[in-house]
Structure 1
Amino acid sequence: MEKDSVNKVYTPFPIPPAPADLRPPPPLEGKHEEQRLQVLAHFQKEDYALPDVEKDPSLMEAEKFWLTNDCILRYLRATKWDTQGAIKRLEDTLRWRREFGFHGLITPEHVEPEGMTGKEICFGSDTGRRPALYMFPSRQNTDESIRQVHYATFMLERTIDLAGPGVENVALFINYGEKSNYKSPSLSMSRNVLNILQTHYPERLGRAYIINIPWLLNAFFKVIMPLVDPVTRDKVRFNPKVVEEGLVDADKLMSAGGWGGSVEFEYVHEKYWPAFIELCKTTREEQMARWRALGGHIGIDEWSIKGGVTPKEPEAEVATQAAENPA
């Protein structure tokens, strides 16, 4: 994290460490475990081929890495434990990720023109250790295009990469307070992004905090929010006092824009972007290395991929100490 002589911050925070007593999620039991195993077995078949794909239907390494145990569970929960429904949605997302450009087109170089003004910034976390993605619509710097959607998904993917052990979702901080000639996105663009988030990123939104909403956009949200599923709608907070309500620690929150944080962050693209991309690249490489060391197959726990350490139980700790210090 880079600071200057007046203590301004220009680069993102590293991943917050997991509490020492944090434990991995407990294993499933009963019917839900059977359903998880059914979905896992479907994708682990030796002759598995992604349906409706003519070219290279076998899963790529990046797709196997994406198909974690936790990913399967997110889709099972999103389909209310409908095994075939979860399989279909997973396969729909795998095809969409190929067609949308995640395996070649959507690179840092491709989306960087969209990020020149800092309209989306990954920085800090909330009290749930969810990495925070700030959005400043007033900093819109390009005409409406598919690249804007590419950039939005790229930033979401990178923010997810920075979620530490035991964290599956992100926190969005959306601030409409800055004045500009910003033009609201079209309803069709908003619906497209909303559809992508709800269809291909189930259970990835932890919280969305939205402040300084002008009356025109307030009316716009009244049109959009009924299209959002009830579970997601409950995660959206309008004009919250995030520090006073204990949602975010002040020392992990930007001071600009009325959020109430204490961090003097300034967006300078030449400082932030390279540091952000390098942090994400290093984190991704470390996670991929752990995944390969664990066998490089479908269904590995994200806790292990992210470097989570399972604390020893008190009995095991006593036994270990006794073995190391015999009488």
Structure 2
Amino acid sequence: MEEEEEEIFHSPEAERDEKADDEKRKLRLMRATLEAKDLSCKDTDDLTLRRFLRARDLDVEKASTMFMKYLAWRRTFVPKGYISESEITNDIAQNKMFMQGRDKAGRPIAVVFGSRHFASKGGVDEFRRFLVFALDRLCSRIPDGQEKFTIIGDIQGYGYCNSDVRGVLAAISILQEYYPERLGKVYVIHVPYIFMTLWKIVSPFIDKNTRKKIVFVENKRLRATLLEDIDESQLPEVYGGKLQLIPIQSG
């Protein structure tokens, strides 16, 4: 009987419940910590705080520091609460990011064309604003019960003129520091050899949990790989699906 009781106590269900209870306890502690520092944190919902908590492996102190940094950044970088199209005219004109469909988990899908990005047009500051504009648009389409989005990064035609180390590092920083636990998966497709030079430079700056979500897809397996997670009805026409691509600014 003692052995049976011990086995039940250590069952997967019991461990999951224990972890869930621990997370709830730490979430309450994190909220109390933040509200003591800034009363405006009372307006932040539990789901948002939980994403920051999970991003720091349930370390309340680190998660609280991360969230306070996010608040300060948001107030400075997005003082109006949103980025307007007039602030990112050069990046929008490049027509490089689209938003359409959902994967099988309900995550909204964005498609990014790397060969349409030219760093010199607007500079890294405008590109940062464009990233926030795009990420906010994506997040606004995340349905209840889901917290992440999916990205298809199409690198076909990518060349030296598209190589932008500063821009990619800015994207990594913004995504990891200010949009934690939002990325579900990234499919990198049509990858030319030249892109791998940039990848070797920037990949060390991507944390291990994010790297696990990045999938380099073989050309011969492209449609089959995408269809594993995306229904044909939700896949863009350009990849053999049935949806037209809609520019991020028109979504």
TM over 0.5: yes
Q: Mark the CA change 1:64 to 1:260 in structure 2 (over 3 Å): closer, same or farther.
A: farther
Partner of 1:118: 95
Does residue 262 of the first structure (1) align with residue 242 of the second (2)? yes
Give the deviation of 1:41 after TM superposition: 2.1
The CA RMSD over aligned residues, in Å, is 2.6
Structure 1 residue corresponding to 2:113, chosen from 126, 133, 136: 136
1:177 is aligned to 2:168: no
Deviates more, 1:241-250 or 1:34-43: 241-250
TM-score where L is the length of structure 1: 0.63
In 1, are the aligned partners of 2:114 and 2:158 still within 8 Å (CA)? no
How much has 1:156 moved relative to structure 2? 0.9
**Deviations 1:240-274 (CA, angstroms, capped at 9, x unpaired):** 54542312112211122xx33233x266x7xx74x
Structure 1 contact 97–103 (Cα < 8 Å) conserved: no
In structure 1, what is the Cα distance between the partners aligned to 2:154 and 2:75? 32
Q: Does the CA-based 8 Å contact 1:243-1:250 persist in structure 2?
A: no
User: Which residue of 1 is the match for residue 4 of structure 2?
Assistant: none
| 1:252 aligns to 2:234 (yes or no) | yes
1:206 aligned to 2:184? Answer: yes
Alignment of 1:1-327 (within 5 A): 29-45=20-36, 48-49=37-38, 59=40, 65=43, 67-103=44-80, 106-140=83-117, 142-178=121-157, 182-185=161-164, 187-239=165-217, 241=221, 243-245=223-225, 246-256=228-238, 259-263=239-243, 265=244, 273=249, 275-276=250-251
Deviation at residue 178 of structure 1 after TM alignment: 4.1
| Equivalent residues of 2:98, 2:111 under 8 A apart | yes
Larger mean CA deviation between 192-201 and 140-149 belongs to: 140-149
Indicate the SS of the match to 2:147: coil
Residues 35, 42 of structure 2: 8 Å contact kept: no
More relative contact order, 1 or 2 (CA 8 Å, 6+ apart): 1
Identity across the alignment (%): 23
**Is contact 1:138–1:181 with CA below 8 Å preserved after alignment?**
no
| Alpha-carbon distance in structure 2 between the residues aligned to 1:28 and 1:103 | 38
Q: Distance in 2 between the 1:110 and 1:210 partners?
A: 28
Alpha-carbon distance, 1:223 to partner: 2.4
Structure 2: which amino acid aligns with 1:95? A
Q: Is contact 1:242–1:260 with CA below 8 Å preserved after alignment?
A: no
Shift in CA distance, 260/89, structure 1 to aligned 2, threshold 3 Å = same
Pair 102,217 (structure 1): closer, same or farther in 2 beyond 3 Å: farther
Partners in 2 of 1:105 and 1:235 — Cα distance? 27
* Number of equivalent positions: 229
Cα–Cα, structure 1 residues 29 and 132, in superposed 2: closer, same or farther, change >3 Å? closer
Change (3 A) 1:232 1:116: same
Structure 1 residue 29 displacement after superposition? 4.7
C-alpha separation between the residues in 1 aligned to 2:133 and 2:69? 19
Q: TM-score, normalised by structure 2?
A: 0.80
- The structure number with the bigger radius of gyration is 1
Please report how far the alpha carbon of residue 128 of structure 1 lies from its aligned counterpart in structure 2 after TM superposition. 1.4
Structure 1 stretches of 5 or more lacking a match?
1-25, 50-57, 277-327
3-state SS of the aligned residue for 1:103? Answer: coil
Counterpart-to-counterpart distance in 2, 1:238 and 1:83:
34
Structure 2 stretches lacking a partner, 5+ long: 1-16
